[in-house]
Amino acid sequence: MRSPASRCFHVLLGLLVAAPVLAGDVHVAVAANFTAPMKLIAADFEKETGHKAVLAFGATGKFYAQITNGAPFDVFLAADDATPKKLEQEGAAVSGSRFTYATGKLALWSARPGLVDAQGEVLKNGGFSKLAIAAPKIAPYGAAAVETLTRLGLMAALQPKLVTGESIGQAFSFVSTGNAELGFVALSQVLEGGKIKSGSAWIVPEGLHSPIRQDAVLLVKGKHSPAVQQFIDFLKTDKAKAVIRAYGYQAQP
């Protein structure tokens, strides 16, 4: 027969074994173009693991500045591959943790049906007064837009019409609210169910700009957290990749 002390020990042991693993928060800085798919991935992540991804969306360049100044993020999903690499080199991110989670596509979009033709000839023909882009120095999609206009030989002619947002999210907002008739946005922002959800768009051929490889990286603050590692692992699952592809991105095999 067990002693009272023995019974107490076994009860406590049983409680410890049965106790659920404590859920944790994962603080994630996310490039603005990846807003819609990230919200879905974060919801799936929470359902499957119990951990919560706390998301912040914005321009890659602004996040770089915040992270190097001590912003408390665990993971960074950038809109390019250069910024995460730089953070690794500077010691703000864990060396060897960087990987490409998506390759983005650029689109010329208008909220007005019929304004943007399937070949993007509207850029040459005119008929608009404002063209929105993201700030090319801090937003990779903005840099891709400038590269596209330059390769088309239209940069000088259209420079006076450019309206610049600090992120691709703000560039999209300029167009969706009518403050600019059209603009260069991320395809993911205007795609739903594999189709353009409203207005009119031209998907920019990949040969007109450098590949928009979007890398994720583990930041130093999150390197010892099991919840953070589970989040990174979840980004690489087939379930997450299916969401990424549904929004017009290429996902790594």
Residue 55 lies in a domain: yes
Predicted confidence (pLDDT) at residue 21 exceeds the cutoff of 60 = no
For residues 76 and 146, state if they share a domain. Answer: no
- pLDDT at position 192 is 82
For residues 82 and 111, state if they share a domain. Answer: no
For residues 74 and 161, state if they share a domain. Answer: no
C-alpha distances in Å from residue 17, one per residue of 10, 13, 184, 225: 10, 6, 54, 21
The string of pLDDT tens digits covering residues 76-133 is 999 999 999 999 999 999 999 999 999 999 999 999 999 999 999 999 998 899 999 9
For residues 85 and 176, state if they share a domain. Answer: no
Tokens of 244: 């990424």
- pLDDT at position 194 is 82
Residues in the chain: 253
C-alpha distances in Å from residue 63, one per residue of 16, 153, 198: 40, 32, 30
- The CATH number covering residue 155 comes to 3.40.190.10
Percent of the chain with pLDDT over 90: 85
For residues 8 and 86, state if they share a domain. Answer: yes
For residues 12 and 81, state if they share a domain. Answer: yes
Residue 253 lies in a domain: no
- The rounded distance, in Å, linking the Cα atoms of 43 and 55 is 11
For residues 80 and 127, state if they share a domain. Answer: no
Radius of gyration of the chain (CA): 22
Predicted confidence (pLDDT) at residue 217 exceeds the cutoff of 90 = yes
For residues 189 and 217, state if they share a domain. Answer: no
Taking residues 71-78, what's their average pLDDT? 97
Q: Binning pLDDT at 50, 70 and 90, where does residue 252 land?
A: confident
Residue 252 lies in a domain: no
Taking residues 22-38, what's their average pLDDT? 92
Type of residue at 16: L
Three-state SS at 150: helix
- The rounded distance, in Å, linking the Cα atoms of 119 and 125 is 12
Taking residues 189-203, what's their average pLDDT? 91
- pLDDT at position 200 is 97
The number of distinct structural domains making up the chain is 2
Residues 6+ apart with CB under 8 A from 91: 220
Q: Binning pLDDT at 50, 70 and 90, where does residue 17 land?
A: very low
Residue 251 lies in a domain: no
Lowest mean pLDDT among 63-67, 131-135, 188-192: 188-192
- pLDDT at position 164 is 97
Residue 30 lies in a domain: yes
The domain of 28 spans: 4-103+213-246
Residues 6+ apart with CB under 8 A from 69: none
For residues 23 and 85, state if they share a domain. Answer: yes
